[in-house]
Structure 1
Amino acid sequence: MLVDEYLPKGSGFDVVTKVLKERNNNDISIIIMSYVSDHDAFTKEVASGRVQFLNEPDRESALVECVSKIVSPHKVETQVQYQIKQLEPGAILFAEGEKTELTYIVKKGSLRAYCASPEGDKITLGEIVAGEFVGEMGHFNHEPRSATVEAITDVELIAIPNSAVDNVIFTRPSWAKALVKTLSTRLKKANKALAG
């Protein structure tokens, strides 16, 4: 079942809630078209895969991904959703311009993000420390890496394939909190830099 969050005469969330309450509808999977995923409204159903959010209805591959999860739920559930990655000081996690395939959470250590100036100099953008996400913007905007990230110390990270980020984040509240904290911290730093 495909439901738009905004319907002419009400909320798509109300329709979904009614469908989920009916016992005869247990075999119905639901895709909600919504630019902002409100996973708190259907926490259990999102975790089980019965309810999914389609945040980019104009992107065909996003719709195909949602439908694939419904058609082959067991295949999706058995996939490894994350792995541990180790880096030594000076090792490059990813380089500016690379294709974005993974998002990371830093478990231990620290990294430095930088980009190249037109003259070829390194412009340091900031430090990434334990408890923060790195590479998450590539997941959200579907663009190549905007910076190079290099290990300052020995680093241990959790690598999450971008195809699994939403599911992993919304089934692990502590990771969702870490993502919000990361984005909030970076926004504050950007605002300070703009203020001079």
Structure 2
Amino acid sequence: MSSFVRQIDFALDWVEVEAGRAIYRQGDKSDCTYIVLSGRLRSVVRKGNGKKRLAGECGRGDLVGMVETLTHQARATTVHAIRDSELAKLPARALTAIKRRYPQVVTRLIHLLGEKILGSLQQGPVRGVAVGLQHPYSSSSTDINVLSP
């Protein structure tokens, strides 16, 4: 195993989340990305008037909170477990190390994000809270499942 893979392995934290518990809340600092290993998560947006709107759901293999972490933006949604879930927590600095060492990974992620954003504009909300991308001039969010084509 390469030293780089060992470093990433050591950087990951394994997180178990009980159903009903929040992973993070809207407005929180985004300091990591989560990878869903098992279970199911739901993303909710709280509007200015206090009402909540379902933004999406994600499951095994989905990335959660990546765009916010990459762009150093506050969390756009509240994400909570709707089933007992197991996650891998990838700190922002580990994601930065991957970006620097393997820029082709970032290129692929941008490609997948672009496809999902364009697809969601045509179809409405998509499955996967994955990155919780919110357009700065809009009150609605576009949710993206990064790992599913």
TM range (shorter): 0.5 to 0.7
Match of 1:140 among 63, 67, 70: 70
Q: Gapped runs of 5+ residues in structure 1?
A: 1-43, 49-76
Superposed CA RMSD in Å reads 3.4
Q: How much has 1:191 moved relative to structure 2? A: 3.5
- Partner of residue 94 from structure 2, selected from 153, 160, 164: 164
Distance 1:95 1:78, change over 3 A: closer
Q: Which has the higher contact order (CA 8 A, sep 6+)?
A: 2
* Residue 81, structure 1, aligned to residue 11, structure 2: yes
The question of 1:109 aligning with 2:39 is answered yes
Query: Aligned equivalents of 1:160 and 1:93: distance in 2?
Result: 13
Rg comparison, structure with higher value = 1
1:131 is aligned with what amino acid? G
- Whether 1:91 and 2:21 are equivalent positions in the alignment is yes
The 1:78/1:86 distance shift into structure 2, 3 A limit, reads closer
Distance 1:148 1:78, change over 3 A: closer
TM-score using structure 1 length? 0.51
How many residues are matched?
Answer: 119
After the TM superposition, which residues 64-75 of structure 1 pair with which residues of structure 2 at under 5 Å, given as runs? none
Is this contact kept in 2: 1:81–1:160, CA < 8 A? yes
Q: After TM superposition, what 4+ stretches of structure 1 lie above 4 angstroms from structure 2?
A: 168-172, 178-182
TM-score (norm: length of structure 2): 0.65
Superposed displacement of residue 117, structure 1? 1.4
Q: Which has the higher helix share?
A: 1
% identity of equivalent residues? 26
